[in-house]
Amino acid sequence: MDVGANLWEAPGMPFCPSCRSEYRPGFQVCPPCGDRALVDALPEVVPIAEDEVDATVAIGVSTMSHVLEVGGRSVDLGRVFALKQAHAISLALEDKLIASVLVPVADLVLPDGAPRFEVRVRADDLDQAQASLHALWRDAVDAEGVEHADPEADVEACPACGARVPLDVEECPDCGLVIGRSDGSG
């Protein structure tokens, strides 16, 4: 083998399209990704700069909006994520060839003290990003099932800290977030 050869450009090195790991020639699947078939080249994701994005993504469907005023701007808690979750969302979008950036939400301090991030995409990609994330969310709900969910429950979870909040209370008893009173119609 040529000592000066670049190992990263070796011909025939397959890649996993999910985790982007590179394998030695001869490997056909990526075991950590559920035996996903390897490909000869990774698809190009056109990177974007933070100043090119103007849309934030959310997961799932919510009829309630939990918006806070933070640092002079409105922040929807349904669109901010812990770093690990934001990174997973970004990777899921990358699999669909949708470029994204993680933008820290300055001045937002929740009870767990962990920083929160928005996952931003180009406005032109927002509908496709939302559809992709909704499909992932739906698949997760279908896989997990909803038999443990109680549609008659008289509490909901606080979007900021996750504490149980009775529907007839306007403020979270743990963190003080004003949620508003539910009319019970769901």
Reported as a single tens digit per residue, the pLDDT across 24-76 is: 888 899 887 777 888 888 777 666 666 666 666 666 555 456 777 767 777 77
Residue 6 above 80 pLDDT?
no
Q: Of how many residues is the chain composed? A: 186
82: β partners: 116
pLDDT higher at 87 or 183: 87
| Structure token pair of residue 71 | 């640092």
Per-residue model confidence (pLDDT) at position 51: 65
Question: Is pLDDT at 88 greater than 70 in this prediction?
Answer: yes
Q: Which residue has the higher pLDDT, 84 or 69?
A: 84
CB-CB contact of 116 with 105 (8 Å): yes
pTM, 2 dp: 0.51
Note whether 121 and 55 are within 8 A (CB).
yes
Classify 97 in phi/psi space as left (phi over 0), alpha (psi -120 to 50) or beta: left
Per-residue pLDDT at 9 exceeds 70: no
Residues 73-100, mean pLDDT to the nearest whole number: 84
Residue with the larger pLDDT of the pair 121 and 48? 121
The whole-angstrom separation of Cα 136 and Cα 71 is: 32
103 exposed, middle or buried (CB, 10 Å; 0-12, 13-18, 19+)? middle
Which one is predicted more confidently, 125 or 47?
125
Over residues 79-85, mean pLDDT:
85
CB 100 within 8 A of CB 93: yes
pLDDT score at 46: 62
